[in-house]
DNA sequence: GCTAGGATTTACT
DNA sequence: GTAAATCCTAGCA
């Protein structure tokens, strides 16, 4: 199938130079690409400087140094020794974790990298998303405003929120955001 | 130096 | 539902 045409709009650095919670919400529905592969952002999480669940909570260290860089910096870290997780830095010490995409561009390369054919298993989860897009430690510290990254406007969407996944602290902060009704979430949002 | 514990995924019972 | 895979950071001795 042919990849849908993208709306070419430049995301300024100021888009990320604000509260990570707002950025996490605003990213839902946009199209995130690495090279020719990517899709619609359907799930994100925000992590802030004063957030006990954030890598930056105890201050800057060699590992989390990118989180204290310029807004728009990619913070890529290894999770559980084997997966890569992709974050976009906002204000110093805060970032947005990309948790799931609806695959829309570069189907062939993404399914080859993932070894699966089901669109719901291609990029639904932070580790899966990174693998599908070819994200690894080499991209850590690069700016998402520059190639090979690109961001594009999408259609207006409804956003839902809930508790973040996989953390042992900061569970009271409802900083997980998702595209309402999406079939490509890593996990469903609890129905109120 | 040593070690507990992950912002996860997959396979298996 | 439960567990294994896998590594390296951060915190403490």
pLDDT tens figures, A28-81:
999 999 999 999 999 999 999 999 999 999 999 999 999 999 999 999 999 999
Confirm whether any atom of chain B, the nucleic acid strand, is less than 7 Å from CB of A176: no
Query: What pLDDT shows up at residue A36?
Result: 96
Residue A96 contacts residue A45 (beta carbons within 8 Å) = yes
- Confidence tier at A9 by pLDDT (50, 70, 90): low
Confirm whether any atom of chain B, the nucleic acid strand, is less than 7 Å from CB of A73: no
- Confidence tier at A6 by pLDDT (50, 70, 90): confident
Residue A45 contacts residue A176 (beta carbons within 8 Å) = yes
Return all residues near A32 (Cβ < 8 A) that are at least 6 apart: A38, A39, A41, A98, A101, A133, A149, A150, A151
Nucleotides of C under 7 A from a protein CB: 5-11
**pLDDT above 90 (res A172):** yes
Span A86-93, mean pLDDT?
98
Query: What pLDDT shows up at residue A1?
Result: 66
Return all residues near A160 (Cβ < 8 A) that are at least 6 apart: A177, A178, A179, A180, A189
Residue A85 Cα distances to A21, A76, A96, A123, A155, angstroms? 18, 6, 11, 12, 25
**pLDDT above 70 (res A156):** yes
Q: How far is the CA of A129 from the C1' of B13 (A)?
A: 29
Q: How far is the CA of A32 from the C1' of B5 (A)?
A: 31
pTM: 0.96
Return all residues near A121 (Cβ < 8 A) that are at least 6 apart: A114, A128
Query: What pLDDT shows up at residue A8?
Result: 65
Residue A126 Cα distances to A60, A102, A156, A180, angstroms? 23, 12, 23, 18
Confirm whether any atom of chain B, the nucleic acid strand, is less than 7 Å from CB of A98: no
Confirm whether any atom of chain B, the nucleic acid strand, is less than 7 Å from CB of A168: yes
Q: How far is the CA of A7 from the C1' of C8 (A)?
A: 40
Nucleotides of B under 7 A from a protein CB: 5-10
Q: How far is the CA of A131 from the C1' of C3 (A)?
A: 23
């Amino acid at each position: 199938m042919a990849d849908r045409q993208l709306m070419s709009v430049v995301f300024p650095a100021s888009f990320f130079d604000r509260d990570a919670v707002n950025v996490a919400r605003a990213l839902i529905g946009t199209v995130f690409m690495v090279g020719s592969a990517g899709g619609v952002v359907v799930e994100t999480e925000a992590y802030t400087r004063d957030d006990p669940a954030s890598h930056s909570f105890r201050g800057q260290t060699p590992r989390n140094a990118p989180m204290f860089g310029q807004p728009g910096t990619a913070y890529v870290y290894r999770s559980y020794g084997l997966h890569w997780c992709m974050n976009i830095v906002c204000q110093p010490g805060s970032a947005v974790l990309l948790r799931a995409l609806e695959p829309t561009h570069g189907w062939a390369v993404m399914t080859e990298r993932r070894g699966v054919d089901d669109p719901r298993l291609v990029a639904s989860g932070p580790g899966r998303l990174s693998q599908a897009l070819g994200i690894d430690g080499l991209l850590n510290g690069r700016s998402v405003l520059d190639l090979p990254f690109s961001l594009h406007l999408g259609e207006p969407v409804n956003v839902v929120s809930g508790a973040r996944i996989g953390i042992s602290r900061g569970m009271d902060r409802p900083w997980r955001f998702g595209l309402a009704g999406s079939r490509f979430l890593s996990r469903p949002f609890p129905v109120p």
